[in-house]
Amino acid sequence: MEKKDYYDLLGIEKTASDSEIKKAYRKLAMKYHPDKFSNASEKEKKEAENKFKEINEAYQVLSDSDKKSKYDRFGHAAFENGGGNPGGFGGGFGSGFSGEDIFSSFFGGGFGGSQGQRGPEPGNDLRVDVIITLEEVAKGGEKEIKYTRMGKCSKCHGSGAEPGSKMNKCPKCHGSGRIEKIQRTMLGNFKSVVECDECNGKGKIPETKCSKCRGTGVEREQVKKKIKIPIGIHDGQRLRMSGMGDASSEGGENGDLYIFFHVKEHNFFVRDEEDIICEVPITFIKATLGGEVVIPTLTGKKTIKIAKGTQNGKVLRLRGEGIHNPRAYAPGDLLVKILIEIPTNLNVEQEKLLKEFDNSLKDKNYKMNKGFLNKLKDLFK
């Protein structure tokens, strides 16, 4: 099911101040407090449970300036790698306070899953923007991308310990990776189980920290990778590459890499879904007498026939010369709109011929000189 907009959930504008966000959250939190639904039906309790979960999730993001900034830029995609929690771009609810902790206190763990059982946080998701041409959209192909990410330390291989140094049990969490914490909130005091800030949830700390990564287990690295351009992709669509984002400093899985495609504006073609449209100018002589004209397509030049008496604005359809959609039965078409050019700055001879031509149309008995049409063609090429 599609997630609801966090601002809509709290009933506030994007320009809301911190105090307005807090005020809106508190009002809704009290409205959906479980005490108010103790005598309600199971259906009403469930609805309140879901609503309470949603508003807490929204508040955890919008009350944190860093998470709020990421949400404003990327929407819910910023947190997709976090298993549904707002943290996919770098870190869960943080600081030990979450909608899950509050909800567990009220509803006895209604989110499914006990506290303290969450694994290490994954690495941050990353975004790369790629510009492609309409020809690449039509043909597909490959493109090399370059980006910077946090990768596993090449010296300690992610352990955080200096090679040869052993790992000791964390003295703060006694190897569990989690500690209990009392959190004071506007709804009262709650006990929650949070990640140990001494070992970052690993349960172990190095006897001697790695001199290269200073014990974090990660270092900045440059990545080059060839990606496939999906045939028929639209401007603004994205491609998710699992595990190609930042490495986790806590020993979790890598984040994901999101490739956002931007289709460069074409000099000649305009795209309309799977069809492409272009305008081709021809002389009024060719429109009148017919003939052939060479036009560009996404696969090369083609010759098309112009019928006698073609009118300005006539659209010719070339079947299968558009964009191929893998989910469609057949590719789109190329639509060629004919534009008839009207000559300007005629010389004396051209004006004379046109007048003679005009007279021939008015008078059925009018006789033109031999080779008149050929001369007309030559003068108005």
Each residue's pLDDT expressed in tens, for the chain with a length of 381 residues: 567 888 888 888 888 888 888 888 888 887 876 666 766 777 787 888 888 888 888 888 898 888 888 888 778 777 765 444 554 333 333 333 444 444 444 433 433 333 444 556 788 888 989 898 888 888 888 888 998 988 888 888 877 788 888 888 888 888 777 887 776 665 666 677 777 777 777 778 888 888 888 877 888 889 898 988 888 888 888 888 888 888 887 677 888 989 999 988 888 888 888 888 888 888 887 887 788 888 888 888 888 898 888 888 888 898 888 888 776 677 888 899 888 888 777 778 777 777 777 777 666 665 555 555 565 556 555
Is residue 69 within 8 A of residue 90, CB to CB? The reply is no
Inter-helix orientation angle 99-107/42-62, to 10°: 160
Whole-prediction pTM: 0.55
Are 334 and 271 in contact, with CB atoms under 8 Å apart?
Answer: no
Alpha-carbon distance values, 190 to 87, 117, 181, 371 (Å): 22, 18, 8, 100
| Whether the Cβ atoms of residue 184 and residue 192 lie closer than 8 Å to each other | no
Rounded to whole angstroms, the Cα distance separating 99 from 108 reads 13
Structure tokens at 268: 């000649």
Domains and CATH numbers, the chain: 1-123 (1.10.287.110), 266-342 (2.60.260.20), 346-381 (no CATH)
